[in-house]
Amino acid sequence: MENKKSNEDSIKNAIKKRIKEKIKKELLEEIYNELKLEENELAEEISSIISKKEKSSAADLINEIKAEQPIFEKLEDDKTVSISVKAILKIASHALKYASSKISRDKWVEVIGLLAGKQYDYGPKLHIEDAYPMGHGSAVYAEIKDYKNFVRAFNDIKAKNLFICGWYHSHPSYGTWMSDEDIGTQARYQKLWDNAIALVIDPYQIDGTSLGFQIFRANLKNKKWFSIPFSVEGSLDVKSLPEILEFMDPIIEGKAAYLEYDED
Ligand SMILES: [Zn+2]
């Protein structure tokens, strides 16, 4: 028994070491801080900001967002999109924070956030570099209360020479697809930028065989949605994703002490 236990421990330590090499402390801190900032934000925000043009401050913001969008040829639907490991980990952590086995199922809610991208002249035409957790909740169309988090993200995205290339949200345990409401939200993003994409994640599909998300765009004329192929930039083995997320669990739960993990 002793032997088995120490054997298990050494396997665990080896896994931990391997994951640590991959995920830097800075990224864990960033995820921790952004999830903290998002805690008070309800999911209504983003779609409300984009729909409520009558609110002049929101309208100014929309104009500013529009002005920041790059002008480039319309992406062909079959052109690939790439996504960073960082964005994947942020989105998955955010989704799991509000729908995990530690929360009773009737309390699970969806999360919503922004995707920050950059354009390539070659290879995948659009690269999703980062993701910004914006809110969580079950109603998508409520009043806008406070959007300082949105403005903060927008300014940060601009400062990093990225632009808002779409949005993400979660479907905890009910698959990756676009509802009618989702197509409505997506339409607003595509009006901001033609090539805007929607990433839908179901964290319960992250099982070692799937990344648990798909990327979509919609045909606004017939209201049909379709998935867009993508590749992952950086090294991320689908098989190890559940392990990595499990390792990040304390961060997802909001335990700052865990950030000391490097000092061993
Ligand atoms: Zn949805």
For residue 199, report the distance from its CA to the centre of ligand 1, in Å.
Answer: 10
pLDDT-wise least confident of 57-66, 84-93, 101-110, 182-191: 57-66
User: How many whole angstroms separate alpha carbon 117 and alpha carbon 17?
Assistant: 30
pLDDT exceeds 50 at position 257: yes
For residue 179, report the distance from its CA to the centre of ligand 1, in Å.
Answer: 5
pLDDT exceeds 90 at position 79: no
The predicted-structure confidence for 114-128, as pLDDT tens digits, reads as follows 999 998 777 668 999
pLDDT of residue 48: 54
For residue 187, report the distance from its CA to the centre of ligand 1, in Å.
Answer: 13
Average pLDDT over residues 81-102: 93
Asked, for residue 38, whether it belongs to a domain, the answer is yes
For residue 43, report the distance from its CA to the centre of ligand 1, in Å.
Answer: 12
What would the two tokens of residue 223 be?
A: 């209201």
Asked, for residue 262, whether it belongs to a domain, the answer is no
For residue 156, report the distance from its CA to the centre of ligand 1, in Å.
Answer: 26
Question: What is the domain range of residue 219?
Answer: 2-256
Asked, for residue 9, whether it belongs to a domain, the answer is yes
Asked, for residue 21, whether it belongs to a domain, the answer is yes
Q: At what angle do helices 44-51 and 56-68 cross, to 10 degrees?
A: 90
Average pLDDT over residues 26-35: 88
Average pLDDT over residues 58-87: 72
For residue 240, report the distance from its CA to the centre of ligand 1, in Å.
Answer: 26
Q: Report helix, strand and coil shares of the chain as percent, to nearest 5.
A: 45, 20, 35
pLDDT of residue 85: 94
Q: How many CA atoms lie within 13 A of 141 on its CB side?
A: 6
pLDDT-wise least confident of 23-32, 99-108, 131-140, 233-242: 131-140
pLDDT exceeds 50 at position 33: yes
**Total count of domains within the chain:** 1
Coil/strand/helix, residue 231: strand
pLDDT of residue 54: 42
pLDDT of residue 252: 87
Average pLDDT over residues 213-224: 93
Asked, for residue 141, whether it belongs to a domain, the answer is yes
pLDDT of residue 70: 64
Q: In CATH, what number is assigned to the domain containing residue 246?
A: 3.40.140.10
pLDDT > 70: percent of the chain: 77
Average pLDDT over residues 224-242: 90
- Is the backbone of residue 123 left (phi > 0), alpha (psi -120 to 50) or beta? left
Asked, for residue 261, whether it belongs to a domain, the answer is no
* pLDDT classification of 134: cutoffs 50, 70, 90: confident
Asked, for residue 78, whether it belongs to a domain, the answer is yes
pLDDT of residue 177: 93
For residue 140, report the distance from its CA to the centre of ligand 1, in Å.
Answer: 9
pLDDT > 90: percent of the chain: 33
